[in-house]
Each structure stands twice: as C-alpha cells, then as structure tokens.
Amino acid sequence: MMQVLRQLYQVGGDLNGVTWDGLDAAYHDANTYVLERPGGLILFDCGGGDTLDQVFAKFVCVYRGV
C-alpha cells in the first residue's frame, strides 16, 4: 500500500511493485486506488484480477488504518 495524497492510497498495480503476479515483468495488473471518505472507502479500478487477493488485503489495511 502506498499513500499518494491525503486519504488516497494505491493498493494495486504491478508496474511500481504494489502488487505482483509473480509470472514476469509484463505488468498484467492496472493501478488500483482507494479513496478514504467519511462514509467509507471507494475502490477505483480493481485491476485485471490476477492480484485481487493482494488488492483486497491492502484495502483492509486502509480500512483499519494500518
């Protein structure tokens, strides 16, 4: 997980190593962002699905404030 701006986090994307599918350096997964709002979290673009478990794990970290 990487904080981009206040209340905006990157939780996915293998181009910069936030998530990794372990196959090669083909960059299969899109950048994925979470916006933290008073009413909850908003997930933008969940990627290609190859690293969805990693994205959700980082999503939970944002939710818990870790």
Per-residue pLDDT of 32-50, as tens digits, reads 888 999 999 988 876 677 7
- What is the pLDDT confidence band of residue 53, given thresholds at 50, 70 and 90? confident
On whether residue 2 sits in a domain, the answer given is: yes
On whether residue 43 sits in a domain, the answer given is: no
- pTM (2 d.p.): 0.69
How many Cα atoms are found within 13 Å in the side-chain-facing hemisphere of 15?
A: 8
The answer to whether 30 and 13 are in contact (CB under 8 A) is yes
Coil, strand or helix at 58? helix
On whether residue 12 sits in a domain, the answer given is: yes
On whether residue 22 sits in a domain, the answer given is: yes
Q: Which domain holds residue 12?
A: 1-30
On whether residue 36 sits in a domain, the answer given is: no
- Closest listed residue to residue 29, CA positions, set 10, 48, 42, 11: 48
On whether residue 3 sits in a domain, the answer given is: yes
Our count of domains for the chain comes to: 1
On whether residue 62 sits in a domain, the answer given is: no
